[in-house]
């Protein structure tokens, strides 16, 4: 058995997952590949707790790619609500349209075909292939990179991402049998709920041979990372402007948008310009503003 696999033994990890996994609705046995894809779009850069209230209603309302494609882009943006990064909603709508039109309403099952879809990058393609179709592909997110950095390499934190190196790292850990997809899922879950960034709960961890813990938990090397803030950012201003548009069924005037952010008019203008450039907002012929497709 290769050395790396000894640090993360499949049996211990998968047994732990079976005992400790979170009961998330998109993990239920009757959830379709499309509904898993929707969850992956929503979970990009967004915590589980914010996706939980949105996903069930969404997949009930639009259970298939064709049902989603038939909805208006504005309705999709509205239902996206406060999930943030609203370009994802637009991409999801485009993705539904392509699957309905070019793939007989069925989500493709291989990574290369998945990566041709709008909004589907390397991580999302692998996650769908693994979670929905049980393909034995490495699925590498921030949580997985951190577990591997600690358990295998003895480092407090993963370095800069490198798709080729990270995939090779995790591919070397996957068991060479039908347990591979379950192993990938369990590794992600361990990083999400036990081997967390700030306070790993090593006492609950099934990995007895973790290299980082074995080395006495050495600190992070290099400068500390600055925490990301949201207040006052262009993202927050974009969110405020979209809130106004979502709350109105008809186009709004410039003055109605202006009151959403009075602190810095130049920043507000920049945020509005970026929403127009991203195609999330349109300008009507009489100079008012509306959600995509409602102008
Ligand atoms: S022992 Fe601690 S640091 Fe190592 S993988 Fe488990 S939770 Fe992470």
Q: Is the dihedral of CA 182, 18, 209, 142 positive or negative?
A: positive
Catalytic site residue 40? yes
Cα 196 to Cα 272: distance, rounded to the nearest angstrom: 36
Q: Is 151 in the pocket of ligand 1 (CB under 6 A)?
A: yes
Q: Is 147 in the pocket of ligand 1 (CB under 6 A)?
A: yes
- Cα 17 to averaged position of ligand 1 atoms, centre (Å): 14
Q: Is 205 in the pocket of ligand 1 (CB under 6 A)?
A: yes
Furthest CA-CA distance within the chain:
70
Determine the pLDDT at residue 205: 97
* CA-proximal residue: ligand 1, atom 2 (nearest): 202
Tens-place pLDDT, residues 233-270: 888 899 899 888 888 888 999 988 988 898 888 899 99
For the beta carbon of residue 63, count every other beta carbon within 10 angstroms. 14
Determine the pLDDT at residue 12: 96
- Cα 145 to averaged position of ligand 1 atoms, centre (Å): 12
CB 281 within 8 A of CB 292: yes
Tens-place pLDDT, residues 193-225: 999 998 999 999 999 999 999 999 998 877 666
pTM of structure: 0.85
For the beta carbon of residue 221, count every other beta carbon within 10 angstroms. 9
User: Which H or E run includes 225?
Assistant: none
CB 45 within 8 A of CB 91: no
Cα 124 to Cα 106: distance, rounded to the nearest angstrom: 16
91, 172, 161, 171: which is closest to 135 by C-alpha?
A: 171
Q: Is 212 in the pocket of ligand 1 (CB under 6 A)?
A: yes
- Cα 205 to averaged position of ligand 1 atoms, centre (Å): 6
Domains plus CATH for the chain?
A: 234-291 (1.10.10.10)
Task: Choose the residue to mutate in 212, 218, 219 for probing ligand 1, maximizing ligand atoms within 8 Å of C-beta.
Answer: 212
Angle at which helices 73-80 and 87-102 cross, to 10°: 130
- Cα 216 to averaged position of ligand 1 atoms, centre (Å): 11
Could you list the pLDDT tens digit for every one of the 295 residues in the chain?
Answer: 446 678 899 999 999 999 999 999 999 999 999 999 999 999 998 999 999 999 999 999 999 999 999 999 999 999 998 898 899 999 999 999 999 999 999 999 999 999 999 999 999 999 999 999 999 999 999 999 999 999 999 999 998 888 889 999 999 999 999 999 999 999 999 999 999 998 999 999 999 999 999 999 998 877 666 666 788 888 889 989 988 888 888 899 998 898 889 888 889 999 999 999 888 999 998 999 999 876 6
* CA-proximal residue: ligand 1, atom 5 (nearest): 151
Task: Choose the residue to mutate in 20, 145, 150 for probing ligand 1, maximizing ligand atoms within 8 Å of C-beta.
Answer: 150
Determine the pLDDT at residue 56: 97
User: Which ranges of the chain does DSSP label H, i.e. alpha helix?
Assistant: 3-7, 10-20, 33-43, 48-51, 55-61, 65-70, 73-80, 87-102, 111-114, 122-133, 142-151, 163-171, 180-193, 211-214, 234-246, 254-258, 265-277
- Cα 163 to averaged position of ligand 1 atoms, centre (Å): 23
Q: Is 93 in the pocket of ligand 1 (CB under 6 A)?
A: no
Q: Is 194 in the pocket of ligand 1 (CB under 6 A)?
A: yes
Q: Is 155 in the pocket of ligand 1 (CB under 6 A)?
A: no
DSSP letter for 54, please.
Answer: T
Nearest atom, ligand 1, residue 147 CA: 5
Determine the pLDDT at residue 34: 98
Cα 90 to Cα 226: distance, rounded to the nearest angstrom: 30
Q: Is 129 in the pocket of ligand 1 (CB under 6 A)?
A: no
How distant, in Å, are the alpha carbons of 8, 115, 205, 243 from that of 209? 8, 36, 10, 49
């Amino acid at each position: 058995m290769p050395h790396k696999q000894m640090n993360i033994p499949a049996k211990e990890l998968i047994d732990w997952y079976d005992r400790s996994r979170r009961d998330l609705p998109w993990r239920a046995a009757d959830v379709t590949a499309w509904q898993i894809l929707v969850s992956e779009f929503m979970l990009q850069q967004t915590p589980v707790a914010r996706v939980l209230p949105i996903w069930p209603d969404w997949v009930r309302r639009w259970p298939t790619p064709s049902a989603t494609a038939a909805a208006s882009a504005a309705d999709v943006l509205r239902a996206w609500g406060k999930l943030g990064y609203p370009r994802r909603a637009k991409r999801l709508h485009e993705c539904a349209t392509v699957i309905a039109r070019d793939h007989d309403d069925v989500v493709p099952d291989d990574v290369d075909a998945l990566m041709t879809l709008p909004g589907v990058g390397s991580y999302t393609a692998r996650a769908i292939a693994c979670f929905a179709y049980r393909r034995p592909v490495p699925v590498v997110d921030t949580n997985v990179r951190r577990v591997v950095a600690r358990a295998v390499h003895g480092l407090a934190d993963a370095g800069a991402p490198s798709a080729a190196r990270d995939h090779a790292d995790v591919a070397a850990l996957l068991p060479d049998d039908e347990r591979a997809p379950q192993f990938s899922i369990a590794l992600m879950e361990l990083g999400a709920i036990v081997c967390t960034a700030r306070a790993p709960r090593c006492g609950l961890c099934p990995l007895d041979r973790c290299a980082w813990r074995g080395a006495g938990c050495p600190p992070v090397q290099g400068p500390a990372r600055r925490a990301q803030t949201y207040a006052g950012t262009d993202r927050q201003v974009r969110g405020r402007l979209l809130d106004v548009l979502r709350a109105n069924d008809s186009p709004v005037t410039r003055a109605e948008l202006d009151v959403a952010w009075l602190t810095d008019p130049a920043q507000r203008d920049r945020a509005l310009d970026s929403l127009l450039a991203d195609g999330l907002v349109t300008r009507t012929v009489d100079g008012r503003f509306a959600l995509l497709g409602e102008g």
